[in-house]
Amino acid sequence: MAIVTGKSQRWRLLGAHLFLIALICVTVFPLLAIVSISLRPGNFATGSLIPETISFEHWKLALGIPYEAADGSLVQPPFPVLRWLWNSVKIAGISAFLIVAISTTAAYAFARLKFRFKTQILNSMLLLQMFPAVLALVAIYAIFEAIGSYVPWLGIETHAGLIVAYLGGCAMHVWTIRGYFDTIPVEIEECAKVDGATHWQAFRYVLLPMAVPILMVVFVLAFIGAVIEYPVASILLRQEHNLTLAVGSKYFLYEQRYLWGDFAAAAVLSGLPITLVFLFAQKWIVSGLTAGGVKG
Amino acid sequence: MGRTDWGRLLKWPFTTVTALACLWLVFRIYASGQPLWALAALGLFGLGFFVYLSNVAFAYRYLFPGLAGMLVFVAFPLLYTVQIGFTNYSSSNLLSYERATAYLLEQTTPGEGHGWGFALHPDGQRLRLVLAPGQADDDEQPETRAERSLVTPPLALGGAQEIKLEPLAASGFKPGEPLPLGAVLKNRQALAALKLVLPDGAALSYAGVREFAPLVPTFTREAEGVLKQTATGVVFRANRDTGFYEDGAGERLQPGFKVGIGLGNYLRMVEDPEFRGPFIRIFVWTVVFAALTVLFTLAVGTTLAVVLNWEALRFRTVYRTLLFLPYAVPGFISILVFKGLFNQNFGEINLILNTLFGIKPAWFADPFLAKVMILLVNTWLGYPYIMVLCTGLIKAIPADLYEASAIAGAKPLTNFWKITAPLIVKPLTPLLIASFAFNFNNFVLIALLTNGRPDFLNTKVPAGTTDILVSYTYRIAFQDSGQNFGLAAAISTIIFFLVAMLSMANLKLAKVNDERK
């Protein structure tokens, strides 16, 4: 930009740097603090940000290994963190895969096929998606209780039930994928159809390979969404070995039982991979957010 | 071509098997006394088969799984919630009228009259019960007693069991010395769980360390909706307004049943002063919380976007990545991290405040400080989203506008208020409304950070000073005592309408934006 630089420019630059650095300190402090706390011995000890003595006791407990305390007693892990992590990854992985599958086919129909009530369905999907699931928790609980009394493996306290509940919320992903399909020229598939391909073949062998990037984005978004989902998981899953990380992590910080250090290790262990995935996929996620959010 | 042939070959067997499974499920739902649910399931399955077998609904084959999922798990829960809001569904009124009545009629109490004396006899590793009419110390000849005695098959005690008795003489069991009273006392609980069935079909249950007594139904049905307590003769009538069986004095039988109470839950919010007080305060706080969050995140987010857009500034990418971090860390982790950091006695934040200023604020016990903390944490969590949005919007502003203003000698602040702000405010508004609606329902933050605490004192329904409407609803429905699903659903319904209004406003604004482009 060809803005004429005044005398105050250097001072303003310096000010901006100081402002940003101060803000970054505030932003990063909690994250660094939690790493440091996980390495400090004891559950209540407070200390400097850089720990004086490093102890891996919390990490051992988080990984499910009992450790020997200073007085010789064996401390057992308070919670099955790895089990929770596995539950989260399993539920999120399966539901993200299924969400991609059903949203892609639905998006194909909306982008390429002609049928009745198309715009009405699309618009009502967008409207429905604006009501958060938290509000319908009572009904969701009642529905799964009813389902469970006929099909036990889909009821309350089952992972399959939770996955099915997550599948219901695929509308935003349908919109995102449809937006991407709209950018791919129809002519390519029409060529395939002239060569004798069916609808399904044109979709499966022509359109789908070209849409892989957006499918990856939707998979990551759905995966992270399911990992961090709390309300529905908290009412459908109650038994300790069955919980997901989002629900289980809470149990570390009860008034009567404040396992601050153990929580810190579990938090870093489970939060780091998701954070890295998010940062890695940042660019696409931001574009996905803006594409699906307002316009279609 | 091989694949297609297999597909054709398997199509009908597969369809038949699936159809049979679906019909079996529908039948089971119907047989358990839920004809409406059975009909709904039949409708859904039927639609599924129509979509996949008929050529008319071709496009819907691609849509069916997603749409069915949304219908069952998004649209239906919405309607069902509204419906529950008009009922007294709660932990004391959990069952339907038929099931509550059936439950009450199944209740039995050991009746008065002639009991059966019993003794425990070992039989190998197991035990047998030998019962004789009358008390064991009656003056009856042991021979005649033995003739009329009954015996159980060898049994292992534990858990509820229903056991048929047979005459002792026919069983071929020779009772030896009975076990001492101590063994009976030790097995009291297991014995109490037994239900012994006499050859004539009457049932006996444990009535004391020496006796089993005949079971009498606690209630008998006098007429439809009228139950009589057998022991006292008191008549209980089903009250269709309260959902309980009640006697003349207003005494209620548990469990109650589910009935529609019309606007009862809504009237309670308006009329009951003990309930209205906290409700209004929670509502006001919800609006304040959502509005201030949007305001703060907007202030921090736009400032950062503007500063980071300044090309003379070095290391902008590094700054941007670091400032994006709060958005990348999963919410349930960072919220809990803050919960620990703000802890009054051993939290890092009070440690720093104590060293610098010698103060230790009670973040969780003081209502005002708790609210301040919630806003601080939510601003931390929320500003990166606004920052990213604003960065995109500012990039779209043509550079020559700033060149012109520079020629006119404008200062950065003038630039922001006269050029940047007016140009980004229009596209930003729908996103801000969406953000307001999101925070209006930001359940996870409240549930994990304060769980609504500190609580109001002396309220009928547990309510906290930092509760927002959704977390309050969750507490009414799933926590503490009571589990009042009906009331929770009524509050949810009110929130639905608010969210719906916000969404409508949002769509209108978005449309206006689109037309301008």
Contact residues, chain B, for A109 at CB < 8 Å = 59-60, 62-63
**A271 and A135 share a domain?**
yes
Residue of A nearest to B305 (CA): A20
Question: Choosing among A23, A135, A253, which should be mutated to test the B contact, i.e. which has the most B CBs within 10 A?
Answer: A135
* Final residue before a domain boundary, out of A34, A49, A75: A75
Cα A48 from Cα B271, distance rounded (Å): 54
Q: Do A171 and B431 touch (CB under 8 A)?
A: no
B positions 71-110 inside 8 Å of A (CB): 72-78, 80-81, 84, 89
CATH number of B92-107+221-262: 3.10.650.10
**A109 and A69 share a domain?**
no
Whether cis (ω within 30° of 0) applies to the bond prior to A152 is: no
Q: Which pLDDT belongs to residue B1?
A: 42
**A101 and A195 share a domain?**
yes
Q: B452 — contact with chain A (CB < 8 Å)?
A: no
Q: How far is B448 from chain A (nearest CA, A)?
A: 7
- Within-domain flag for A123: yes
Question: Choosing among B265, B336, B513, which should be mutated to test the A contact, i.e. which has the most A CBs within 10 A?
Answer: B336
CATH H-level, domain B271-516: superfamily: MetI-like (1.10.3720.10)
**Candidates A105, A109, A249; nearest CB to B336:** A249
Residue A39's domain comprises 7-75
**A91 and A197 share a domain?**
yes
What's the 3-state SS for B274-298? HHHHHHHHHHHHHHHHHHHHHHHHH
**A63 and A185 share a domain?**
no
CATH level 2 (architecture), domain B110-217 = Beta Barrel (2.40)
- Within-domain flag for A259: yes
* Final residue before a domain boundary, out of A75, A94, A111: A75
* DSSP β-bridge partners for residue B211: B117, B208
B positions 334-353 inside 8 Å of A (CB): 334, 336-341, 343, 346-348, 351
* Final residue before a domain boundary, out of A75, A106, A123: A75
Count of domains observed in chain A: 2
Q: Which pLDDT belongs to residue A161?
A: 93
Q: Which pLDDT belongs to residue B238?
A: 82
Q: Do B322 and A27 touch (CB under 8 A)?
A: yes
Q: B319 — contact with chain A (CB < 8 Å)?
A: yes
Rg (alpha carbons) of chain B, rounded to whole number: 35
The 8-class DSSP code of residue A51 comes to -
pLDDT in tens, chain A (296 residues): 444 556 677 888 898 899 999 999 999 999 988 888 888 887 665 555 566 677 788 888 888 888 777 777 778 888 888 899 999 999 999 999 999 999 999 998 888 888 888 888 888 887 888 788 888 888 999 889 888 888 888 888 999 999 999 998 888 888 888 888 888 888 888 888 888 888 888 888 888 888 888 888 889 889 988 998 999 999 999 898 899 999 998 888 887 778 888 888 888 988 888 888 888 777 666 665 554 443 32
Q: Do B325 and A31 touch (CB under 8 A)?
A: yes
Q: Do B74 and A121 touch (CB under 8 A)?
A: no
Contact B455, B464 (CB under 8 A): yes
**Candidates B337, B346, B510; nearest CB to A46:** B346
- Within-domain flag for A269: yes
pLDDT-flagged residues of chain B (< 50): 1-2, 517
Q: Do A143 and B488 touch (CB under 8 A)?
A: no
- Within-domain flag for A294: no
Q: Do A130 and B499 touch (CB under 8 A)?
A: yes
Rg (alpha carbons) of chain A, rounded to whole number: 25
Which contacts of A52-57 are long-range, i.e. CB under 8 A and separated by 24 or more positions?
Answer: A57/A261
**A44 and A102 share a domain?**
no
**A235 and A139 share a domain?**
yes
ipTM comes to 0.87
**A33 and A159 share a domain?**
no
CATH H-level, domain B3-84: superfamily: MalF N-terminal region-like (1.20.58.370)
* DSSP β-bridge partners for residue A32: none
Q: Which pLDDT belongs to residue A292?
A: 42
**A71 and A86 share a domain?**
no
Provide φ and ψ at B371, rounded to 5°: -65, -40
- Within-domain flag for A295: no
Q: B496 — contact with chain A (CB < 8 Å)?
A: yes
Q: Which of A252, A163, A170, A166 is nearest to A218 (CA)?
A: A170
**A34 and A166 share a domain?**
no
Cα B194 from Cα A41, distance rounded (Å): 54
Question: Choosing among A113, A116, A131, which should be mutated to test the B contact, i.e. which has the most B CBs within 10 A?
Answer: A131
Contact A274, A100 (CB under 8 A): no
Give the CATH number for residue A198. 1.10.3720.10
Residue of A nearest to B427 (CA): A294
Dihedral (CA of B503, B509, B513, B514) sign: positive
Between the alpha carbon of residue B29 and those of residues A139, A152, B35, B81, the distances in Å are 18, 13, 7, 21
Dihedral (CA of B371, B475, B291, B268) sign: negative
- Within-domain flag for A1: no
Cα B379 from Cα A18, distance rounded (Å): 20
Cα B61 from Cα B63, distance rounded (Å): 5
Residue of A nearest to B404 (CA): A3
B positions 27-46 inside 8 Å of A (CB): 28-29, 32, 34, 37
Chain CA centroid to CA B102, Å: 26
Q: Where are the domains of chain B?
A: 3-84, 92-107+221-262, 110-217, 271-516
Q: Do A282 and B324 touch (CB under 8 A)?
A: yes
Q: How far is B321 from chain A (nearest CA, A)?
A: 8
**A205 and A237 share a domain?**
yes
Contact B234, B244 (CB under 8 A): no
**A220 and A198 share a domain?**
yes
Q: Both tokens of residue B177?
A: 């010395």
- Within-domain flag for A290: no
Q: First-to-last CA distance in chain A?
A: 34
Q: pTM score, two decimals?
A: 0.81
Question: Choosing among B73, B93, B407, which should be mutated to test the A contact, i.e. which has the most A CBs within 10 A?
Answer: B73
